[in-house]
């Protein structure tokens, strides 16, 4: 069985409070070779770094998620910069824009926080993990202000045309549970078009469990369901796709 790499899972989330340690310790025995836990604010970034330092198969990213960025200060970048010195911190994330929720911080503030963190990633020469929900045009425009930025558009929900723009600039695309959903037409089109060497498979645990587990608490083992769906679309062997996408993740995040 191929060891998979879940490049996006929030084990710092309270949904895992009851069994986090047992679950994470059991992952390598269940075919999960690597996990990347992106932070969403200072507290969750701190917890992600702690988990990464505790488990050899867990890595962390640190950052302010657009939904949680209201209390962001420029001084907090120093904290992120310090944590990024850990060899287990391999990216700045989860950062980006989220225009879906009306109660989110104002768009202009989200854009400032995103730009500041893209500049931090450039300074530290780290890849970024981008969250783009209903903000495709602005996300694309802002990452293009940073021509050396590289990373992944996590749970990519844009069009094939936008995907090609990003791929041309060296970005990776993350595929999550939604590619298995009935209404996944656009995501399926992108999954058919994306070069295999730019694909990452992710759960976004505890959210977005794939079919047939939709609605339950998600965890990294379920990357296999996402792989099965894309392997069927692309007429590939599931284990070969798991191995190839794990290799993609190691390349992007610089993991041996």
> Which residues of this chain interact with Zn ion, rule CB under 5 A?
94, 204
Rounded to a whole number of angstroms, the minimum distance from the CB of residue 204 to Zn ion is 5
Evaluated on CA atoms 14, 15, 19, 25, the torsion sign reads negative
> Can you tell me the distance from the alpha carbon of 52 to that of 30, in angstroms, rounded to the nearest whole number?
18
Cα atoms in the Cβ-side hemisphere of radius 13 Å centred on 85: 6
Residue among 94 and 132 whose Cβ is closer to Zn ion? 94
Question: Which residues in 207-217 are b (16+ Cβ under 10 Å) and which e?
Answer: ebbbbeeeeee
Residue among 132 and 204 whose Cβ is closer to Zn ion? 204
**Cβ–Cβ under 8 Å, residues 125 and 94:** no
| Chain position whose Cβ is nearest to Zn ion | 204
| Residue 3 φ/ψ, nearest 5 degrees | -80, 120
Spatial CA neighbour of 247 closest among 3, 43, 1: 3
Residue among 49 and 243 whose Cβ is closer to Zn ion? 49
Residue among 41 and 204 whose Cβ is closer to Zn ion? 204
Residue among 6 and 94 whose Cβ is closer to Zn ion? 94
Residue among 100 and 233 whose Cβ is closer to Zn ion? 100
Rounded to a whole number of angstroms, the minimum distance from the CB of residue 1 to Zn ion is 26
Cα atoms in the Cβ-side hemisphere of radius 13 Å centred on 231: 17
Q: 64 to each of 4, 35, 48, 105, 170, how far by Cα in Å?
A: 27, 19, 13, 12, 23
> Can you tell me the distance from the alpha carbon of 137 to that of 135, in angstroms, rounded to the nearest whole number?
6
Rounded to a whole number of angstroms, the minimum distance from the CB of residue 232 to Zn ion is 25
Q: Fill in the DSSP letter of residue 77.
A: H
Spatial CA neighbour of 166 closest among 137, 140, 128, 202: 140
Rounded to a whole number of angstroms, the minimum distance from the CB of residue 38 to Zn ion is 6
Rounded to a whole number of angstroms, the minimum distance from the CB of residue 176 to Zn ion is 9
Q: 100 to each of 104, 207, 246, how far by Cα in Å?
A: 8, 16, 30
Coil, strand or helix at 33:
strand
Rounded to a whole number of angstroms, the minimum distance from the CB of residue 205 to Zn ion is 9
Residue among 12 and 116 whose Cβ is closer to Zn ion? 12
Rounded to a whole number of angstroms, the minimum distance from the CB of residue 129 to Zn ion is 8
């Amino acid at each position: 069985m191929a060891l998979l790499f879940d490049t996006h899972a929030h084990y710092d989330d309270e949904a895992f409070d009851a069994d986090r340690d047992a679950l994470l310790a059991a992952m390598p025995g269940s075919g999960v070779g690597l996990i990347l836990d992106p932070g969403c604010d200072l507290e969750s970034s701190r917890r992600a770094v702690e988990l990464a330092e505790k488990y050899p198969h867990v890595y962390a990213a640190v950052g302010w998620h657009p939904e949680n960025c209201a209390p962001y200060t420029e001084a907090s970048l120093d904290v992120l910069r310090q944590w990024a010195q850990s060899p287990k911190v391999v990216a700045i994330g989860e950062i980006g824009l989220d225009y879906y929720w009306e109660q989110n911080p104002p768009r202009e503030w989200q854009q400032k926080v995103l730009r500041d963190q893209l500049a931090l990633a450039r300074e530290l020469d780290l890849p970024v993990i981008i969250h783009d929900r209903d903000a495709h045009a602005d996300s694309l425009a802002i990452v293009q202000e940073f021509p050396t930025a590289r990373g992944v558009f996590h749970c990519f929900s844009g069009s094939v045309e936008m995907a090609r723009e990003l791929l041309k600039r060296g970005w990776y695309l993350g595929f999550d549970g939604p590619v298995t959903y009935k209404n996944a037409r656009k995501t399926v089109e992108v999954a058919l078009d994306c070069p295999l060497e730019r694909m990452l498979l992710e759960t976004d645990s505890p959210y977005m469990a794939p079919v047939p587990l939709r609605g339950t608490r998600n965890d990294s083992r379920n990357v296999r369901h996402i792989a099965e769906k894309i392997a069927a679309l692309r007429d590939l062997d599931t284990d070969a796709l798991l191995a190839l996408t794990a290799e993609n993740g190691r390349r992007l995040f610089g993991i041996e």
